[in-house]
């Protein structure tokens, strides 16, 4: 599954605003006092998590930005010596997750990835992170909640279809979709991690027209692909929703969860 740089750029300010502050504070507290940290950012895109965390970590930072999309990696940030060092790592994380975690890594980060992955891959991530005693920060996992105001008669059907589409294979096997964050917290707790979690919902106000239109089009396409909602109903729904956006009457909230999972005790 591929993601355009334009879409990642459009969503980044909303992601930044949505990221859960308490979760980031738990991460920063864990790293406090270290002179330098090496961070493996999984599925980095163009570096959204790098940009969000860079000012929050008071240490020299060595970032390994990993993604399989070379055109996104090419847009990743450059090093700014002496304190920030960035290496782009082209890698298929479905095939080679372990290679992305190997070496002197202090922290694993990711954002907007876990809802794309399968339960099997999640288990692999938890086991491999635990084997290396690596703390993990995972931001912006979609949790299945969509609220649109004003309501429309077809919203429920469309949302159900979107959540079904979320479970289809995105390159890692059948995706966890809305279950991802809950499952991930369970998996990390089972391998002995302490988890701090909190909501990171997108909140789009009537003025946020561009992102609302993008999201609505994406949901219409997903609903259509499932075949669960007749095409004319999808098209009419999208037309009515877009009219509300154009009239400055539409607000949308999309539920997300962030967490920071850290190994406890000694082994």
The nearer residue to ligand SAM, 175 or 244, going by C-beta atoms, is: 175
Q: Give least dist CB 32 to ligand SAM, A.
A: 25
**Structure-token match 């090419």, residue found:** 74
Dihedral sign of CA atoms 151, 155, 159, 160 in order: positive
The nearer residue to ligand SAM, 99 or 127, going by C-beta atoms, is: 99
The nearer residue to ligand SAM, 69 or 106, going by C-beta atoms, is: 69
Q: Give least dist CB 205 to ligand SAM, A.
A: 21
Q: For the beta carbon of residue 256, count every other beta carbon within 10 angstroms.
A: 24
Q: Give least dist CB 177 to ligand SAM, A.
A: 13
The nearer residue to ligand SAM, 3 or 191, going by C-beta atoms, is: 3
Q: For the beta carbon of residue 78, count every other beta carbon within 10 angstroms.
A: 10
Q: Give least dist CB 69 to ligand SAM, A.
A: 4
Beta bridge partners of 76: none
Which residues of the chain form contacts with ligand SAM (CB under 6 A)? 1, 3, 8, 43-45, 48-49, 67-69, 72, 92-94, 111-113, 171
- Residue with CB nearest ligand SAM? 45
The nearer residue to ligand SAM, 126 or 140, going by C-beta atoms, is: 140
Q: Give least dist CB 253 to ligand SAM, A.
A: 19
Burial annotation 4-31 (CB, 10 A radius, 16+ → b, else e): eeeebeebbebbeebbbeebbebbeebb
Q: Which two tokens stand for residue 214?
A: 């993008």
Compute the radius of gyration of the chain from its Cα atoms.
19
The nearer residue to ligand SAM, 91 or 148, going by C-beta atoms, is: 91
The nearer residue to ligand SAM, 94 or 226, going by C-beta atoms, is: 94
Q: Give least dist CB 97 to ligand SAM, A.
A: 9
Q: Give least dist CB 44 to ligand SAM, A.
A: 5
């Amino acid at each position: 599954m591929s993601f355009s740089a334009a879409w990642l750029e459009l969503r980044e300010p909303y992601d930044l605003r949505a990221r859960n502050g308490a979760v980031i504070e738990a991460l920063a507290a864990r790293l406090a006092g270290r002179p330098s940290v090496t961070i493996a950012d999984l599925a980095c895109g163009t570096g959204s998590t790098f940009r969000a965390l860079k000012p929050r970590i008071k240490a020299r930072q060595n970032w390994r930005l990993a993604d399989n999309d070379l055109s996104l990696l090419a847009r990743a940030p450059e090093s700014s010596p002496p304190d920030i060092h960035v290496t782009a790592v082209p890698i298929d994380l479905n095939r080679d997750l372990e290679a992305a975690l190997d070496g002197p890594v202090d922290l694993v980060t990711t954002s907007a990835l876990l809802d794309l992955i399968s339960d099997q891959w999640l288990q692999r991530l938890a086991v491999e992170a635990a084997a290396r005693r690596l703390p993990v920060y995972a931001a912006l996992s979609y949790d299945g909640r969509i609220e649109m105001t004003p309501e429309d008669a077809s919203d429920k059907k469309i949302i159900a279809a979107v959540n079904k589409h979320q479970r289809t294979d995105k390159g890692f096997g059948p995706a966890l979709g809305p279950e991802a964050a809950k499952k991930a917290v369970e998996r990390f707790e089972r391998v002995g991690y302490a988890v701090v979690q909190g909501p990171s919902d997108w909140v789009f106000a009537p003025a946020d027209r561009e992102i609302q239109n993008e999201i609505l089009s994406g949901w219409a396409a997903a609903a259509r692909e499932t075949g669960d909602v007749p095409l004319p109903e999808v098209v009419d729904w999208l037309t009515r929703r877009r009219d509300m956006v154009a009239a400055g009457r539409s607000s949308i909230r999309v539920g997300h969860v962030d967490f920071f999972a850290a190994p406890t005790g000694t082994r």
